[in-house]
Structure 1
């Protein structure tokens, strides 16, 4: 499915350059390529990368910006693998998408592969018959999006999950929600589905985790989670409320149910950014999301007291594999026509995956 060029280890010469030398080189290359080069960067990227971004946003926003960009011959996607896949699927055949570092994966997307998903689906059909519709968070591989599209389902984002889950229940009696159990549980609960109607599918044991009659389950949650967001806990909330009286707790819905239930506000990355932008001066906020974004919000809003909900949490390690050196390497590979780390999704996968994406867009 993916066309990966050999040579994933960055050449030594880039490690010997100073930050200033790399910054100057990137600036010159951006000037040279002009509109032929487009650099989208996810909100969780490092500042050293974001400074050169032509656009910042969440994964779907950036992929849609790539789709609308007819001028760019080359898209250097500063995010993780599944994001670059989505960008490739939405752009034209003659446009080339590159990922600066192939090691930039996603712990959440990696919890679901197509073989596991097909085994799960077979069991669901045997257990429930034709009463289940699959949904997948956009934080999933192209193969999973293809599976969902082929089986009548749609993708969701953390911003529109309520609308898409609501739509899904007009199609079938049950949903399979991939791959983030926490997002699926939190949004389904918000829609009035009790926890005792939600089963977990354990892809490692090929079995349900559910107390009671499995036929009572309305939501089947894939046992996947984000390695960053799962580490924001109820104990973190209790501690910041003790240390900072009157603080507002704002978390992402990829956090565990118990954490979201104890927080004051929960929403997508764009929701978190908007909440902070609109918050009154001198208000206090503990934010439960990726550290690079939290640090950027702290810098952008010095009139507000902002901290991470879990101060001991590291930034997203896979997202942070992309640094200025890898960005420079990627752009220079365009100049030399070596094209390091092209991300290419085959036509069949793209066809069905775009069905899932388009079904989502039709209902938001």
Structure 2
């Protein structure tokens, strides 16, 4: 039977009870063991990335949450949610471990969950089981009286950290010196900034202030069309692969997509190369999706004739080119759900989602392209111990008054411009002929979610 829980899979591999390998033996260690140590993203796909100085760090988790058994934590979380009722909304990203996701009221990608936050003004607190930039976006789209909580402050995003406001501002100034600021005869400005949803609120604010926009993995082409109508070129950050794959599919040549490395003058390109550019790509990437390779696809096709290979657009271009299809997490979910029984899928995205899809669809054969179990380092920093801690903090006790722990707030000076960029994204609709079904997060039934159903089925 397929095991949905990646954490359980890692424990079985570590103890030798099942065959397999992980990218780090430390994955079997509780995440709080890394909170007070050397700053880093933690074990997993991003462990080799350098974390910026001053990144948020999580203080010590109280002992009772560190020593509690899984069932104790589960009972504590459910009791706290029952007490709080509609006053709390728990959001869970697709890449979260199942032990956390089973308690989510909504399950989805970062933007779907931000929309869920926006549509529930009755919640006094929104607990976002994801990473820092997602909680920031939820704070931007929720009401000012609502508190957005990130259970573990160390849950950041290495890709989002690869583009910071100082580096992007310096890049922008160099581009203005090169291109000037005057529009052409068609009224298009020299360059439009576009930031991926996986970025800080400060960069969303930068785009809002400079005539730019935000995109997601599912609407990146529509957003680039919007930008090309208004600008001669696009500065796309922080993920080079999403930008390259999307622009290539739109007919932009690779020669017209120079890379901007913030550590080099003019990003490492010549003035002529930048002048000919249509999309300037930032030197950023997702360490989860960079793990997938063309060789893995070739092996999957040999071992599983007729396999359908679907990868995320954050994967490198050769991997996307070698796959049968590429698309967002929502695209992948819908493709699997619509396939005839007996289909075989090799999926290039985060292992928590892949294993959950395999458990939810026993009528198919579904496996991750990468045979090494290596979850998103930062998503893996969220544990049910942290979730129980912040929820019980909201409830309070006779000895300890209720409190909001780990609140995430975006300053007013950033929020105004960031909201402008987000609203532009919401207003950029694809043509009616290509509009896909509205992407909505999975809604959990009262007291139980889809992930919880999977856990119950495997028990």
TM-score, length of structure 2 as denominator length: 0.77
Of the three residues 410, 413, 419, the one matched with 1:354 is: 419
Aligned equivalent of 1:181: 240
CA shift, 1:313, in A, is 4.3
Asked if 1:8 is matched to 2:59, the reply is yes
Asked if 1:224 is matched to 2:284, the reply is yes
CA shift, 1:210, in A, is 4.5
Distance in 2, matches of 1:258 and 1:6, equals 36
Asked if 1:61 is matched to 2:126, the reply is no
User: What SS does structure 2 have at the residue aligned with 1:76?
Assistant: strand
Asked if 1:159 is matched to 2:218, the reply is yes
CA shift, 1:15, in A, is 1.4
User: What SS does structure 1 have at the residue aligned with 2:129?
Assistant: coil
Aligned equivalent of 2:367: 307
User: What SS does structure 1 have at the residue aligned with 2:175?
Assistant: helix
Asked if 1:338 is matched to 2:423, the reply is no
Of the three residues 286, 293, 300, the one matched with 1:240 is: 300
Structure 2 gap ranges (5+): 1-54, 182-189, 397-401, 430-459
Distance in 1, matches of 2:68 and 2:408, equals 27
CA displacement, residues 289-325 of structure 1 (integer Å, 9 cap, x when unaligned): 0000000000001111111011114010101110110
Asked if 1:21 is matched to 2:72, the reply is yes
Q: Would you say the 8 A contact 1:40–1:55 is kept in 2?
A: yes
User: What SS does structure 2 have at the residue aligned with 1:168?
Assistant: helix
Distance in 1, matches of 2:264 and 2:276, equals 21
CA displacement, residues 64-115 of structure 1 (integer Å, 9 cap, x when unaligned): 1101101100111000000000001111111101000001001110101100
Q: Would you say the 8 A contact 1:180–1:223 is kept in 2?
A: yes
User: What SS does structure 2 have at the residue aligned with 1:44?
Assistant: coil
Aligned equivalent of 2:98: 47
| Aligned positions of 1:105-124 closer than 5 A | 105-124=156-175
Rg larger in structure: 2
Structure 1 gap ranges (5+): none
User: What SS does structure 1 have at the residue aligned with 2:372?
Assistant: coil
Distance in 1, matches of 2:202 and 2:129, equals 21
Change beyond 3 A, Cα 1:235–1:216: same
Number of aligned positions between the proteins: 361
User: What SS does structure 2 have at the residue aligned with 1:208?
Assistant: helix
Aligned CA RMSD, in angstroms, stands at: 1.5
Of the three residues 291, 294, 303, the one matched with 2:354 is: 294
Moved more, 261-270 or 200-209: 200-209
Aligned equivalent of 2:5: none
Distance in 2, matches of 1:206 and 1:331, equals 48
Q: Would you say the 8 A contact 2:56–2:153 is kept in 1?
A: no
Q: Would you say the 8 A contact 1:133–1:171 is kept in 2?
A: yes
User: What SS does structure 2 have at the residue aligned with 1:152?
Assistant: coil
CA shift, 1:5, in A, is 10
CA shift, 1:6, in A, is 9.1
CA displacement, residues 185-210 of structure 1 (integer Å, 9 cap, x when unaligned): 00000111011110100012243344
Q: Would you say the 8 A contact 1:120–1:206 is kept in 2?
A: no
Distance in 2, matches of 1:106 and 1:5, equals 11
Distance in 2, matches of 1:7 and 1:266, equals 35
CA shift, 1:338, in A, is 3.0
Aligned equivalent of 2:148: 97
TM-score, length of structure 1 as denominator length: 0.97
Of the three residues 108, 118, 126, the one matched with 2:177 is: 126
Aligned equivalent of 2:122: 71
Q: Would you say the 8 A contact 1:231–1:313 is kept in 2?
A: no
Q: Would you say the 8 A contact 1:5–1:342 is kept in 2?
A: no
CA displacement, residues 50-72 of structure 1 (integer Å, 9 cap, x when unaligned): 11100000101101110110110
